[in-house]
Amino acid sequence: MAAKFVYKLLGTFLMFLVLQPFVTASKTLKLASLQIIEQGQHRGYGVPDAVGQPSSNDTGGRRGMFHLVDNYKFFNETPKWKNFPVTYGFVSNSRIPVGLDSRAVNDSVAAAFKVWEAVVPKFAFKKVEPGETANIKITFTKINGTYYGFGYAPPNGTLQLDNDHTNWSTGSAPARNQLDLQSGVMHEIGQTLGLDHSTDHSAVMYDTLIRGTTKRVLAPDDKDGITKLYA
């Protein structure tokens, strides 16, 4: 009887040794899976639309992450331009900020329109004068607070850029205290085309532009939004 009890106890002990590694491995795999889900859920949360400061979330533009979720948004009733080409121009009373070269400003604005046109060729953007007759009416004006610009959805099409407190750059690499004009204009153009803010940090349509950086390339989220709107 005693021998039978010993054999039974030994068998239970051996079964515990055999199963223990698999139990531990299963717990480790489960934790790893949960970490992957957590990383996916914390992508791209936005902050108020203004000139921003670099942070660990903004720098790097979420490079290397899979594009799994559409973060773009449209305005209510999804307004958009229905006749093409879409025209743009500077309104007559617009005053370019002191220190900026008018040709460089025009080149930066034209380059910004070209980037959007490359994704939706039917825009066929055309500059007209005076700007009051254009679909997208560009003006430099004083904008209060830390905002650098406003873009109004179709059919309004007003595009305002600050000429009071924003230190604009038209060069290829803005200084740490400068805001890249082409990047800012690209964002505002997106709004005049009908795109609202995106929650994707890497998107041009994200609501904050960081001084000393550029966003002159549309992110997949920007492209997805504009092509769906004008499909």
The answer to whether 117 is a known catalytic residue is: no
For residues 231 and 222, what is the distance between their CA atoms, to the nearest angstrom?
14
Q: CB count, 10 Å around CB of 170? A: 19
For residues 92 and 68, what is the distance between their CA atoms, to the nearest angstrom?
44
Residue 137 pairs in a beta bridge with 89, 158
Which entry of 77, 129, 132, 188 is annotated as an active-site residue? 188
Which pair of structure tokens corresponds to residue 48? 């108020």
Q: Are 159 and 137 in contact (CB under 8 A)?
A: yes
Q: Which amino acid is at 206?
A: Y
**Closest alpha carbon to 209 in 164, 172, 167:** 167
Q: Which residues are catalytic?
A: 188
